[in-house]
A and B are shown apart, each in its own frame.
Chain A
Amino acid sequence: MRAIRAYLRGPAAMIGLVLLLAVIAMALSADWAYPRDPLSLAGRPLQWPGANPRFLLGTDNSGRDIAAQIFHGARISLLIGLVATGIAILIGIVVGALAGYHGGWVDDVLMRVTEAFQTLPNFLLLLVLVAVFGSDITTVTVAIGVVSWPAPARLTRAEFLSLRSREFVEACRTLGMGDMRIIFREILPNALPPIIVYASVVMAVAILLESALAFLRLSDPNVASWGNLIGLGRDVLRTQWYVSAIPGVAILATVLAVSLVGQGLNDALNPRLRGR
């Protein structure tokens, strides 16, 4: 409760929350506002926004309604953001918790693996994964999650390193608790706040990664994603720049919203920074 009140006090956090709610509202209302398939032909191609009252945001080079693609694309972006973040955080927590709690050779092995992932730029790794496993939307989402886990893992490990030597953990051991129970039921709740905050960063990056893939035409072409629309607009960038710019603004707003919410969460969950 205290954390929620602290969150609501931050103006930037409130702007972020409003923006994010707007994107979520777009995603939820897509079927109702634009019941037709957003990828179907709607009218004459390359109409400027406002030129035709039927197409508020104009049409793209194949004559598809841009507004419909933006609304339906919100679903894809949020879905990819949430699922990929979930995968990354889950792997990160398990790897980081085991490494931080056990230390010794377990830590050495897990951290060397993590570093192996970190030394590769994650976009390159993503390209390799998509090239090998194909580019339907499920594969892309999972691949983004799989390349994003090292940072959350290191964060979790750092939290566990400082928490595992606390006396309450020793107390749990003297009560006869097993390791798994201590790790996930006793230490993890104490380590969660910074991980939750970091999840917002992972989510923003996940949305950007998908757009980057789509821009290279390596994402799933059969879904109406913002990245696909930008990629499509690339061909007419100099004359009909709005085709790329409109989804670009949508991505910008969403990533900004997620980041602001993350900042707000950080201020609310991290009591040491409060009052500064």
Chain B
Amino acid sequence: MSALLRLDGLTVALPPGADRPHALEGVTLELHPHEVLCVVGESGSGKSMAASAIMRLLPPGVGIEAGRVVFDGQDLTEADDATMRAIRGAGIAMIFQEPMTALNPLRSIGDQIGEMFRIHTALPGSEIEARVLTLLEEVRIPDPRLAARAYPHQLSGGQRQRAMIAMALALDPKVLIADEPTTALDVTTQAQILALIRDLQHRRGTAVLFITHDFGVVAEIADRVAVMQHGRVVEQGPAVQVLEAPQHPYSQALLAAVPPLGAPPPRPIAEEPILVMEGLRKTYRTGGFLGRGARVTQALRGVSLVLPKGATLGIVGESGSGKSTLARCIVRLIQPDGGAVHLAGIDLLGLKRRAMRQATKRIQMVFQDPFGSLNPRRRVGELVAQGPMVHGMPRRVAMARARELFALVGLDPAATDRFPHEFSGGQRQRIGLARALALEPDVLVADEPVSALDVSVQAQVLRLLAELRARLGLSIVFITHDLRVAAQVCDLVAVMKDGEVVEQGPIGRVFTAPAHPYTQALIASVPGAPAARPGALL
């Protein structure tokens, strides 16, 4: 079978001063009709750059240096702009990671999908309208008529992505490029979108180039897989072969870093509780005048949980489930409306501001964003030493302590006088951990601490966390949306939905025999989970 789209030794040069001279180096890929080719790699591997190069939508300063992109017998690297415009959308369509930013917020969904027809065809208005509705039906948006009139902000994330797919498929393109289309979505929505892409691809015979960092997604959807590292394709082949018997050491390392969904053998847990949450409630009110027409969101509706001493309590849930609000209520970044938090017998919510500032020594937080959680204008050593200094430790002692902590979290103690931007994401997360540990807290609240990291770095940070927990006797509240990550580090798990805990218990029990239907759905939706494909990745 001849290839529909062929990348032939494609080399893309980065502007001088970038971290490497080429974004892509001699990338050769073939995409055949009726297949899903997954390009998988970590951040900076050049996988998105490959998609941009095919569409000739490279950022300024980045240019194709050598090689060819052959689509339908035509070399796209030499095509003029008018030809490219005709091919984009009609020949090769693309869907993006974040449907909210890829859609124009001021125009209705139906209008934006219809635009594809208006640009590329001469169909009459009524015909366009009918086609838009057919497309929306095809991507299974509930109530297509309403959706066509809706604006992007009125739809949920999953529905927006469905609308994007409808737009991409409008002109029956031969090739669909999907750049991390499910990364911004919740796990249950992700499962639905993957099923939809798979189904549409079967029915229409579109070839799909699917870019992702997630091996679970690969296992779910790929016919063939290409693994990229530093702008090169290091391995490609049929999905089963690459996933089950990877040849290249990098693919092997990547696959080994994917955490299994099965829980580790249970550790003995102390009976004595260290952190007790009782009936925590928080309601957000936005807008409205004198209480009328206000939007009320109940983020927490009476959450009661117990963290035993030395244990790790995982809190899992999808976006909007209230898990981050819970984390911030525990450390009192947010003042809950009701309920109580007892830390080793002290009622944290009852403390005055000054007393609470004292109590922060005993409970510390690790944040999600390795870029936003460190003040860019301070040296990292100072960032770590700040906590103890606030609580009265002399500067010299605190700085010495910071160097010790750097060694503890696996960083070079000599690096304390550098600035945050000089570190990678994983290293910054280690700095965040060191900062939280500097006050020697009893309890650590970690809000999605590894979600922004590549899978191999994720594994390192999780290992470090487990090690520190054992060494320092930490008790941890671990918040995550990723069940695989939760399975790795947690002893207990609580599943949250719409501000309530729907199920809790030892992680082994909850993951192998979930009692609540929502937990069951959540576990079944994990990409690459046993329910979807027996044996895959586990």
Contacts and interface: CB of A to CB of B under 8 A. Distances in A.
Given A177-B390, A178-B357, A170 B439 contact: no
Contacts of B512: none
Nearest to B441: A174
B357 A171 contact: no
A14 B361 CA distance: 51
B376 A190 contact: yes
Contacts of B358: 176
Interface string B325-364: 0001001010000000000000000000000111011001
Given A175-B390, A189-B377, A170 B367 contact: yes
Contact of B386 (A175, A189, A275): A175
Contact of B333 (A166, A174, A177, A275): A174
A186 interface: yes
A175 B438 CA distance: 10
Interface in B31-76: 61
B372 interface: yes
A168 interface: yes
Contacts of A167: 367-369, 372-373
Nearest to A188: B377
A174 to B, nearest CB: 5
Contact of A171 (B356, B377, B432): B432
Contact of B361 (A173, A176, A181): A176
Interface residues of B, number: 29
Contacts of A181: 390
B375 interface: yes
Contact of B375 (A173, A176, A186): A186
A186 B375 CA distance: 7
Contacts of B506: none
B439 A175 contact: yes
A175 B374 contact: no
B387 A168 contact: no
B391 interface: yes
A167 B436 CA distance: 13
B295 to A, nearest CB: 18
A176 B373 contact: no
B282 interface: no
Given A171-B367, A175-B435, A176-B387, A190 B375 contact: yes
B365 interface: yes
Contacts of B361: 176
A176 B360 contact: yes
Nearest to B435: A171
A33 B367 CA distance: 62
B119 to A, nearest CB: 29
A108 to B, nearest CB: 15
A214 to B, nearest CB: 41
Contact of A176 (B328, B357, B376): B357
A171 B438 CA distance: 13
Contacts of A177: 357, 386, 390
Interface in A141-187: 166-168, 170-178, 181, 186
A170 B377 CA distance: 16
Nearest to B373: A167
B4 to A, nearest CB: 37
Contacts of A168: 372-376
Interface residues of A, number: 17
Contact of A166 (B356, B372, B390): B372
Interface string A236-276: 00000000000000000000000000000000000000010
Interface string B361-397: 1001101110011111110000000110011000000
A43 B493 CA distance: 94
A170 B357 contact: no
B372 A175 contact: no
Contact of A175 (B61, B328, B378, B387): B387
A172 B357 CA distance: 11
A129 B309 CA distance: 66
A132 B114 CA distance: 66
Given A167-B369, A168-B372, A174 B364 contact: yes
A178 B358 CA distance: 11
A181 to B, nearest CB: 8
Contacts of A189: 377
A141 B387 CA distance: 42
Interface in A178-207: 178, 181, 186, 189-190
Interface string A5-26: 0000000000000000000000
Q: Which residue among B373, B432, B439 has the maximum number of chain A CB atoms within 10 Å of its CB?
A: B373
A167 B387 CA distance: 15
A174 B360 contact: yes
A166 B376 CA distance: 11
A73 B331 CA distance: 59
B372 A174 contact: no
A266 B374 CA distance: 24
A185 to B, nearest CB: 9
Contacts of A176: 356-358, 360-361, 387, 390-391
A168 B368 CA distance: 11
A9 to B, nearest CB: 14
Contacts of B357: 176-178
A186 B387 CA distance: 13
Contacts of A178: 357
Contacts of B391: 176
Contacts of B378: 186
B253 to A, nearest CB: 30
B376 A171 contact: no
Contacts of B367: 167, 170-171
A5 B364 CA distance: 41
B58 to A, nearest CB: 15
A68 to B, nearest CB: 46
Interface string A50-90: 00000000000000000000000000000000000000000
Contacts of B377: 189-190
A177 B385 CA distance: 13
A181 B358 CA distance: 16
Contacts of A170: 328, 333, 365, 367, 373
Contact of A174 (B331, B374, B376): B331
A181 B375 CA distance: 14
A167 B447 CA distance: 11
Contacts of A186: 375, 378
Nearest to A165: B372
Contacts of B328: 170
Nearest to A179: B353
Contacts of A190: 375-377
5 contacts: A170-B367, A175-B364, A178-B357, A190-B375, A190-B376
Interface of A: 166-168, 170-178, 181, 186, 189-190, 275
Interface of B: 61, 328, 331, 333, 356-358, 360-361, 364-365, 367-369, 372-378, 386-387, 390-391, 432, 435-436, 439
CB-CB nearest 5 A-B residue pairs? A167-B373, A176-B360, A176-B357, A175-B387, A167-B367
Given A176-B358, A177-B357, A186-B375, 11 more contacts: A166-B372, A167-B368, A167-B369, A168-B373, A171-B432, A174-B436, A175-B360, A175-B387, A175-B439, A177-B390, A190-B375
